[in-house]
Amino acid sequence: MSRKLSTRKRPERDRHMLKEQLKIEEGVFDKRTMAAIWKMFNHNIISRLDFMIAKGKEANVYVADSGSSIAGDQIILKIFRIETSSFDRRIDYVRGDIRFEGKEGRSPYEIVRTWCKKEYGNLMIARAAGLHSPIPYYFNGNVLAMEFIGDNGMPSRTLRESELENPDAVMAAILSDLKKLYAAGLVHGDVSEYNILMRSNVPCLIDFGQAVVLGHPNSGRFLERDVGNIISYFSKRYGIEKDPSAVLDWLRKGG
C-alpha cells in the first residue's frame, strides 16, 4: 500500500537536502530538468536522488529514494538528455505512430518530451497487459519515474550478466511477454539481452520508449528483429534452438 503524507507535512530537512542536491547537479541538469525533478519531489514521488546506475546516449538512469506516495523504498528516475543528435535516429519510432501524429515536436526539448511521454504510455500498456515490466509512476518533461527493479537496494542484473539455471523457462517467459504485448497492440522494437533484467529468476522487460503500435509501418520488421534477437541469444549461449518463423506465427495468434 502506498504511504500517504501531504507535502505540507514533509520534513523541512528533506526539502533542504534535495535543494542542495539540485545545486550540486546544476552542472549536469539544465533548468527544465531540475524543475521536473523538483515537481516530482513536490508530488511525493521522490525524496532524494541517490546514484546513477546507467549512462546512455539518450538518457541517464538514477536510483532515488521514493516519496510518500510510492510503495517501496526506492524508484528509478530516467532522465532523457535534451540533445538532437541522440534522438534524430529515434524519431522514426514516433513518426508513423497514430498516437503521436503531428506531436513529435520540432525543438530538441519537444522531441525528448514526446519520447518521455511515449515511454510512459507504453509502460502503462505493458503493465495492463500483464507483462513483467516496471510500473510507471509519473513523468514530467524529460524525466520519467518508474518502479525500481532489484533486491536489497541493488539493481537487478541484465539477462546478459546472468547465468540462468533454467534458460528454457526464462526464454519461454520472455516470448510469452512479447505475445502479451502484441495482443495489446504494441511491439517492443528493441528487445535484447541488454534490456531485460532478471528479478528473482523472472525476466523483466525495460526500455519501452521505442515500442510502436501494430499500425506503425515498421512494426512487422521490429517484431521479427525482437524475436530474432532472443532466439539468437539463447541459441548461442545455451544451445536452445527454435524456428523464428514458428515462434512468430505463434506469437501473432490470439489466445
Are 128 and 136 in contact by the 8 Å Cβ rule? The answer is no
**Which entry of 97, 177, 207, 226 is annotated as an active-site residue?**
207
Does residue 207 have an active-site annotation?
yes
Q: Give one word for 164, left, alpha or beta, with left for phi > 0 and alpha for psi -120 to 50.
A: beta
Does residue 190 have an active-site annotation?
yes
- Grid cell in block for residue 18: 534535495
Please state the three-class secondary structure of 149-184 as a single string.
CEECCEECEECCCCCCCCHHHHHHHHHHHHHHHHHC
**Which entry of 177, 190, 243, 249 is annotated as an active-site residue?**
190
Cα(63)–Cα(148) distance, integer angstroms: 8
Rg (CA), the chain: 19
Give me the residues paired with residue 51 across strands.
63
Are 200 and 240 in contact by the 8 Å Cβ rule? The answer is no
Please state the three-class secondary structure of 27-47 as a single string.
HCCCHHHHHHHHHHHHCCCEE
State which amino acid sits at residue 94: V
Instruction: Provide the annotated active-site residues.
Output: 190, 207
